[in-house]
Every structure is written in C-alpha cells, then in structure tokens.
Amino acid sequence: MNLLKKILAAEVYPALGCTEPTSCAYAAAIAAQHLGEPVSRLTLRVDPGTYKNGAAVTVPYADGAKGNLIAAALGAVLARPDAKLELLENVTPEVRRQARRLLDGGNCRYHCLDQQPEFRVEVELGSARHVCGCVLAGSHTHIERIEKDGRPLDGPTTGRQDPSPSHYRDVLKTIDLATLLASAEQIDADDRDVLQSGVEMNLNMAERGLQTGCTAGQLRRMHDDGYVAADLFYRTKLQVASAVDARMAGAPQPVMTSGGSGNQGIVAILTPLLAGREMGVDHERILRSLAVAHLINAYVKCFVGELSVICGCAMAAGIAAAVAVVYQQAGVDMPKITAAVNNVVGDLGGLICDGAKPGCAMKAVTAVDTALRSALMALRGYGISDDDGVVGRTAEDSIRNLGRITLEGMFPVDPTVLKILQEKAARSGRA
C-alpha cells in the first residue's frame, strides 16, 4: 500500500471555506441533487467537532453570514455537488436569496449529535413530494449513505468514489515513523503536482490575508513598533497568520488542506516551505518535506481524532511542520525527529480547540513558533527528556500518549465548550 498516495487522495485537497461548514453544504447539495425538486425544509445534524467549527466562522459567498446551517442551505439550493468542497464558488446572489428564504421560513432544524465521537454530517431535505437524506462520515467527502423516501440509493453518485479513510488509518496506527517517512523519498510527478498546488494555493491565500487587520496585521504593527524582529520566525508567522485570517473571514478562494483541514494545511505546508526557502533548501527537497508533513499530520490524527478536543493546528500540524523542517536538514534521522516531536508535545500538549474562528490565527502563530523552535533545537541535538510529563521514549510513544490525553483525559472538555458555544448562540439569536 502506498500510504502517501492514499493520504494525498483522501486528506489533501482544495477546500473553499472552513471544511466543516463546507461539508454541510456538500452533503446538502448531494441530497438536493437526488431530491430533484425545490427544497422546502431542511434538517442538519452534526458531530460536536463539526458543531464547534461552524459556530463562528464566516461562510464564503454568504454575505458575511456564519455557521453550518447557512452553508447547508446554500448547498441545498445549489444542488451541485460535483465541485465537492469547492462548491460554494457557484453561489450567486439568487442562490443566497433562496437560501435565506429557506432559513427564514421556519422549516430548518439544526442539532448537535452530542454522543458522536467521530466526524459525521447528516442532512435531510424535504420537498412537496419527497424526502432525501445524505450522511457523510469518516471524512469530509466520504458518503456513508444516501436515501430517498426511506430507501437507500445505489449506483454511481457524485463523491461515492471517495473511500473511507479507515482502510489506511488502520495501517498507519501500526507502522513506525521511519518506515512511514521513507515513502516521502518516492514521490512521483503526480505527487509533486499535488504538493506544488498546495504551495501555490496557500501562498495565494496568505497574500490575500496580508490586507486584513487581524492577527497578521497586529504582528506587522508589533514589528513596525520595534517589538518584533524581522527574522525567520516573524516572516513565517506573518504569512501563516495572514492565510488563516483570510480563510476564517470567508475569503472566496480555496486552500489546500492537510488531514482534511484547511488551517492545518496552511500550517503544515507554509511553515516548512518558508523555513526551507530561507535556509537554502532546494525545491525538490522542500516538496519531499511537504509530503513528510502530510504523512505526519495524518499519523497524529489517527491517535487524537479527526476533529479533536485539542487544537489540530497546534498539535497535528505543528508536529508535522517540525518534523518536515528536521527532514529538510537531516533526512529520516529518528533521534532528531523524536526530539522535535517531543519538543512540540512537551510545549503544546493539551491546547484545546474551541472551534474554527478568526482567533484560530493566534493559535496558528503559536504552532509555527513552537514548530520552528522545536525543529531547530532538535537539529542541535536537544529534545525534551522522556522523564518529562507525557513525553515518551520514542516519537510514536509521545504521539500515542498525546492521543490518550486527548481521548481519555480531556473527554469532558468538548461538552463544556459546546455548552458555552450554545449559550452564546442562544443569547445572540443564532442557530
């Protein structure tokens, strides 16, 4: 099994807007395509992680509106799932008006599947004569089921060809990192095209975000005021924060994901890319390091979960970026890679995810700083000792321990975060 190709196919793809609301739009578009009639009612049910990530993020082409429900309404009106997670680029003013009428008509319902630990989006649409539903599970584009009037639909369906990630994640959980990373040495022309597309997309989003006054703007102001030096750390954090700022504000252009997350894609791609350029690494080796980043990001998420209680940008993508920078300079040097992993885990282990939002750029900046610092220390032979806290003897042990902390020790965190977000939504009158 070529794990790199499996991961690039299933977890590294363009996405317009935050991937959780956009997946709600995608599921609704699939259901609407099969419904074949104007939608008059909509019910959306999502897992807690998807609920969190739709609570405060702006949906592209939604006229500033936020949330999973508006995204689902747009998808239901579009009924065009062929573009998958870039489908919102087809939204027109008329689509927006119809989606708003659907929401304002009082026939839309939104629920959180409180006990659902994995990614899951359930959409049910009704028309004058029919009911059609679509369920996504396992990943943002994997269709688990489509039903019309209570009967499952078979045969070719847009997106049905996307496999469940479980078949390769089972392998990932048992493999050692040295074996996993060796596959990055074997990238071919198709892999390079995907990796290069990610570079171009995410740099373009960073360029767009430089015009905002959010986290990136504040970093630039601190530099202008003389508080922050114009070094590798600053320049990398500025680019990453700019891209996240723009994306969370609903910028109408795609980024390349990693692990199915756009913000993780920004951190995992731009951090080693910009570090490698400044350190004089040749482009071919930088591309291989980006393959390493995607491999590591996928590996970490096998243990901490698809939509975790901890911040994926900081932990999964932060670890991935640190390992990629080490790889650029030292190859598959497991003592140095282990040191880099341990440094990130020891620094950021336990940083919670409280949903996708403009403030994610702050956590992305933290992830970049820790990733670069951890990698540079590891290259000099320094790593946090396995006597420290949850840090393990090997990189694999540290990542498994991080997974235990996340899935066992921090289990009550998500319900508490959800309760806070739901109380805020109720006070503001939002769904």
pLDDT in tens, 68-85: 999 999 999 999 999 999
Task: Supply the CATH classification number for the domain 175-419.
Answer: 1.10.4100.10
Helix (H, G, I), strand (E, B) or coil at 137: strand
In whole angstroms, what is the distance from residue 345 CA to residue 333 CA? Answer: 18
- The pLDDT, as a whole number, for residue 164 is 62
In whole angstroms, what is the distance from residue 356 CA to residue 365 CA? Answer: 15
Q: How far is CA 417 from the centre of its chain?
A: 19
- The pLDDT, as a whole number, for residue 158 is 43
- Over residues 373-389, the mean pLDDT reads 96
- Over residues 178-184, the mean pLDDT reads 93
- The pLDDT, as a whole number, for residue 154 is 66
pLDDT per position as a tens digit, 213-261: 799 999 999 999 999 999 999 999 999 999 999 999 999 999 999 999 9
- The pLDDT, as a whole number, for residue 254 is 96
Instruction: Provide the 8-state DSSP code for 310.
Output: B
**127-130: long-range pairs with CB below 8 Å, 24+:** 127/35, 127/36, 127/37, 127/38, 127/39, 127/40, 128/37, 128/38, 128/40, 129/37, 130/35, 130/36, 130/37
pLDDT per position as a tens digit, 13-49: 999 999 999 999 999 999 999 999 999 999 999 999 9
In whole angstroms, what is the distance from residue 4 CA to residue 268 CA? Answer: 15
- The pLDDT, as a whole number, for residue 213 is 75
- The pLDDT, as a whole number, for residue 302 is 93
- Over residues 424-428, the mean pLDDT reads 82
- Over residues 260-277, the mean pLDDT reads 97
User: pLDDT above 90 covers what percent of the chain?
Assistant: 84
pLDDT per position as a tens digit, 86-143: 999 999 999 999 999 999 999 999 999 988 888 999 999 999 999 999 999 988 999 9
* Residue spans per domain, the chain: 18-152, 175-419
Task: Supply the CATH classification number for the domain 18-152.
Answer: 3.30.1330
Q: Torsion angle of alpha carbons 39, 45, 49, 51, nearest 10°?
A: 60
**pLDDT bracket for residue 159 (50, 70, 90):** very low
Contact 90, 83 (CB under 8 A): yes
- The pLDDT, as a whole number, for residue 393 is 95
Please count the helices (runs of H) and the strands (runs of E) in the chain. 17, 8
- Helices 19-35, 68-78: axis angle to 10 degrees equals 30
State the distance between the two ends of the chain, measured CA to CA, in whole angstroms: 44
- The pLDDT, as a whole number, for residue 310 is 92
- Over residues 364-382, the mean pLDDT reads 98
In whole angstroms, what is the distance from residue 289 CA to residue 304 CA? Answer: 22
Is the model's pLDDT at 161 over the cut of 90? no
Strand order in the sheet with 143-148: 108-112, 41-46, 120-126, 131-137, 143-148, 151-152
Contact 44, 103 (CB under 8 A): no
Contact 395, 177 (CB under 8 A): yes
Computed over every residue of the chain, the mean pLDDT equals: 93
The residues pairing with 207 across neighbouring beta strands, listed in sequence order, are none
